Structures are given as structure tokens and as C-alpha cells.
């Protein structure tokens, strides 16, 4: 009996790893229903996977552990493409400055900027900066700073000092998780510091988030709803999954 339980647990954790590779997010209550086990059993499974560095536990579930930018970029690719198409229409026509965070979602937008002249873009994302540099119409700036091992962004005093030299017409940001009560959250406080500053320096803040991140949490709380002007997702604005956010922020 003990041997069977061990084998079942190992098989279940392999299945959890496969699900994580597809969705990028695991929810404890959904997993308990899916596998017919208690939420406590799922919590033990996630703890074991976290000990292996496979996942990072967050409130209500878990998200992928440390991933390369390429891995993050491939996950939920269709949703990110849909979000980018919506964001393109929000990019100013030129003669102003915008900022973009280091997320893979916003990086897709960086590769699809509309025809514009004299647009300045500041980013804390190395991959996003490299994408922007390919467009000769864009004046691209990289903040510099220390690389955050969790998010792949540049953080720390060098990054924030660089940002304070600019003001932005619009900030294009994403999030590791989004909750109707608390707002957005990130893997680290350092990542939050940079995103909060980007929002503070911007006239208009756009938060672009894949719906798989709804009602999840991460280590550090970041933007509250009063700091977000527009929430952009891959969903139609009439989708019921957006209901918790309707009274909090404008939707697109």
C-alpha cells in the first residue's frame, strides 16, 4: 500500500510538471478536483516540486520556476499575440517617450510597433531592447542595472536612476500574477520597485496580462488598481472571466 502511494505521487507530480509546461500556472483547487485528491496532498506535491526547483509556490497554487526568456516567450504564445495586436493601437505616433517592462508579453509588442517617427522607448528588458534596436525609427534605451534572476529584468539603483531621467506618455507593463483584491504582483521586490517607478513616471499605465494569471499571487505585491489605467488581456471584453475587474479598471 505504501509503495502504491509513492508511485501514485510520483506519477501525479510528473503530470503536474506537464501541465505546468503548457499553462505556466497551477491552481491547488483545480488540481485537487482533477486528480481526485485533497488540497493538502496537492500542496505536498507542489512543495516537493518547489524543492526540486521546478515550480515557485504562490498563493493558491504555483507558477513555473526559473525559466529562460525563450521558455517564457513560448508559453501562451497565442494569447500574447492577441494582446500585442490590441496594444499596437495604443502606441503613440511619435515625438514622445514610452516605457516597456522586461516581460515576454510586452516583448511581443516591441516586435510589432506600428509605423512611427521619433518614438523613444525605455526598457529594463535586455531581449526587448534588442528587439527595439532592429527598428531604426525607434530611439531605444536600456536602463542598465543588475539582472534579476527570477524575471530576467534589470533592477537596482542603476535601473531606477536611469528611469528618473525620463517622463513617459504611456507605460506598457505586464505582471507575474493579478488579483482583483490586491492588484498585480511579481516574483521579487526589486522587480516591483522598477515597475512602480515606471508607472509613477507615466501619464497613462497599461497593464497587459494573460488571463491564466488571474486570481493568482506571487511573492511581492506591485501595482494597486489606482495605479493602473487600462487592463488588456487576450479575452473579449464581454468574457465573464473579466467580471471581477470591471469596477476596478478600464478593460480592452
Paired sense of beta strands 183-186 and 220-221, if any: antiparallel
- pLDDT for the residue numbered 5: 38
Paired sense of beta strands 177-179 and 183-186, if any: antiparallel
**98 and 209 part of one domain:** yes
Burial category of 191 from C-beta neighbours within 10 Å (exposed 0-12, middle 13-18, buried 19 and up): buried
- Among 45, 65, 85, give the residue marking a domain's end: 65
Residue range of the domain that includes 140? 72-251
Neighbours of 86 (CB within 10 A): 16
Per-residue pLDDT tens over the stretch 225-241: 999 999 999 999 999 99
- pLDDT for the residue numbered 172: 97
- Among 16, 50, 65, give the residue marking a domain's end: 65
What are the mean pLDDT values of the chain's consecutive 10-residue runs (252 residues total)?
47 80 78 89 83 69 62 65 93 88 91 84 93 89 87 90 95 92 87 95 96 74 95 96 95 96
**7 and 77 part of one domain:** no
**19 and 90 part of one domain:** no
What is the number of domains present in the chain? 2
Q: What is the pTM of this model?
A: 0.73
- pLDDT for the residue numbered 195: 96
- pLDDT for the residue numbered 3: 31
- pLDDT for the residue numbered 194: 95
CB under 8 Å to 79, separation ≥6 — which residues?
210, 211, 212, 233, 234
- pLDDT for the residue numbered 64: 67
Amino acid at each position: 500500500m505504501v509503495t502504491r502511494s509513492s508511485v501514485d505521487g510520483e506519477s501525479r507530480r510528473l503530470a503536474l510538471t506537464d501541465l505546468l509546461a503548457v499553462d505556466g500556472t497551477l491552481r491547488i483547487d483545480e488540481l485537487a478536483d482533477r486528480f481526485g485528491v485533497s488540497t493538502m496532498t496537492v500542496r505536498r506535491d507542489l512543495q516537493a516540486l518547489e524543492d526540486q526547483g521546478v515550480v515557485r509556490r504562490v498563493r493558491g497554487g504555483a507558477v513555473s520556476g526559473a525559466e529562460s526568456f525563450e521558455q517564457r516567450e513560448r508559453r501562451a504564445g497565442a494569447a500574447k499575440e492577441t494582446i500585442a495586436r490590441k496594444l499596437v493601437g495604443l502606441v503613440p505616433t511619435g515625438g514622445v517617450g514610452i516605457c516597456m517592462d522586461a516581460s515576454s508579453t510586452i516583448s511581443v509588442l516591441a516586435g510589432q510597433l506600428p509605423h512611427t517617427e521619433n518614438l523613444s522607448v525605455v526598457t529594463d528588458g535586455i531581449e526587448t531592447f534588442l528587439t527595439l534596436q532592429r527598428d531604426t525609427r525607434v530611439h531605444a534605451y536600456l536602463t542598465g542595472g543588475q539582472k534579476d534572476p527570477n524575471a530576467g529584468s534589470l533592477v537596482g539603483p542603476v535601473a531606477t536612476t536611469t528611469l528618473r531621467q525620463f517622463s513617459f506618455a504611456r507605460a506598457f507593463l505586464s505582471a507575474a500574477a493579478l488579483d482583483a483584491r490586491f492588484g498585480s504582483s511579481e516574483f521579487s521586490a526589486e522587480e516591483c520597485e522598477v515597475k512602480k517607478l515606471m508607472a509613477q513616471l507615466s501619464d497613462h499605465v497599461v497593464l497587459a496580462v494573460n488571463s491564466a494569471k488571474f486570481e493568482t499571487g506571487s511573492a511581492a505585491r506591485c501595482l494597486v488598481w489606482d495605479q493602473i489605467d487600462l487592463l488588456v488581456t487576450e479575452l473579449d471584453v464581454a468574457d465573464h472571466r473579466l467580471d471581477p475587474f470591471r469596477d476596478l479598471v478600464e478593460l480592452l
